[in-house]
Amino acid sequence: MNGRAALLIDPDTEVMNALIHVLRPPEWDIQTAVDNLQALSLVQTARFDLILTSARSSGREDVDLLRKIRRVHSHTQVIILTDQSTPQDVIDAIREGAFSYFSHPFSVPALADMVRSAIEGPRWDDGIELLIAKPEWLRLAARCDLGTADRMLQFVQEMIELPEGEKNEVASALRELLVNAMEHGGKLDPEKYVELTYLRTKRAVSCRIKDPGVGFSLSEISHAAVANPPDDPLRHINYRQAESLRPGGFGLLLARNSVDELIYSDKGNEVLLIKYLDHDRQPAD
């Protein structure tokens, strides 16, 4: 087998077409397997740089396959696709070194972006550390770069047990807060790490982000729309242009409107977001 090789297990047409577009044969040799058993047989006789599991297998089956792959090729990038998943499956996938994890239904463009990250970025064991590993309490540390942020967010999104619409709202808010923490707290320094904690209780889902920066005050962040005065709702745009910052600045405002509570520490380098499961039981203002 010459060059770089990928193994796709029982891919459907949409996934196959998307990955052909990303991998661009003949730059990549793309092979397929009908199931995990055949995939393991191929892995034992050939080296693959990237493996995607079947979207029709369970998370537990794919984690078991991942363990067996690691015994043969320790650094193969593996992305798990599954139609049956539990939070424990996601944790086991992180522990065993999955590069990413998608349960059905998932966005094929998002998968394609993750595949691109896997073939262009670091190894699976570089950038994310598992600190606490329980279905109701997960803590991860992530290196301050945006590719690692996307990987960690995908794992955490798979853990969030909420209706699809609310899950997407929490995930969107979480991404804005995490990117802010890495950009402004960690200065995108790959030597620094951001901590993300996910907690699931009977009443709420909460996420805490802690960055390595010195902190800030919401009233002093001129680059963000949340600090604009009422009579100048677009002031931050001029500031961002003057400082050559990327377009945006609405992240904190959108995050605050996507969850039930958004609480900053006194230093400003930790933030807690809370989404209640039963809105009738929220604490009164």
User: For residue range 130-154, what is the model confidence (pLDDT) as tens digits?
Assistant: 999 999 999 999 999 999 999 999 9
User: For residue range 250-260, what is the model confidence (pLDDT) as tens digits?
Assistant: 567 677 888 99
Q: For domain 127-285, which architecture applies?
A: 2-Layer Sandwich (3.30)
Looking at the predicted structure, is the pLDDT value of residue 14 above 80?
A: yes
User: For residue range 214-244, what is the model confidence (pLDDT) as tens digits?
Assistant: 875 555 555 555 555 666 655 545 655 665 5
How much is the pLDDT for 39?
97
How much is the pLDDT for 108?
94
User: For residue range 75-114, what is the model confidence (pLDDT) as tens digits?
Assistant: 899 999 999 999 999 999 999 999 999 999 899 999 999 9
Q: Where are the domains of the chain?
A: 1-124, 127-285
Q: Which residue has the higher pLDDT, 282 or 191?
A: 191
CATH number of 1-124: 3.40.50.2300
- Same CATH topology for 1-124 and 127-285? no
Q: Are 67 and 39 in contact (CB under 8 A)?
A: no
How much is the pLDDT for 1?
46
Report, as an integer, the average pLDDT of 67-82: 93
For 104, 115, 173, 202, the CA distances from 280, given in Å and listed in that order, are 30, 41, 22, 14
Q: Which residue type sits at 130?
A: L
- Predicted confidence band at 164 (pLDDT cuts at 50, 70, 90)? confident
Gyration radius from the chain CA atoms: 20
How much is the pLDDT for 222?
54
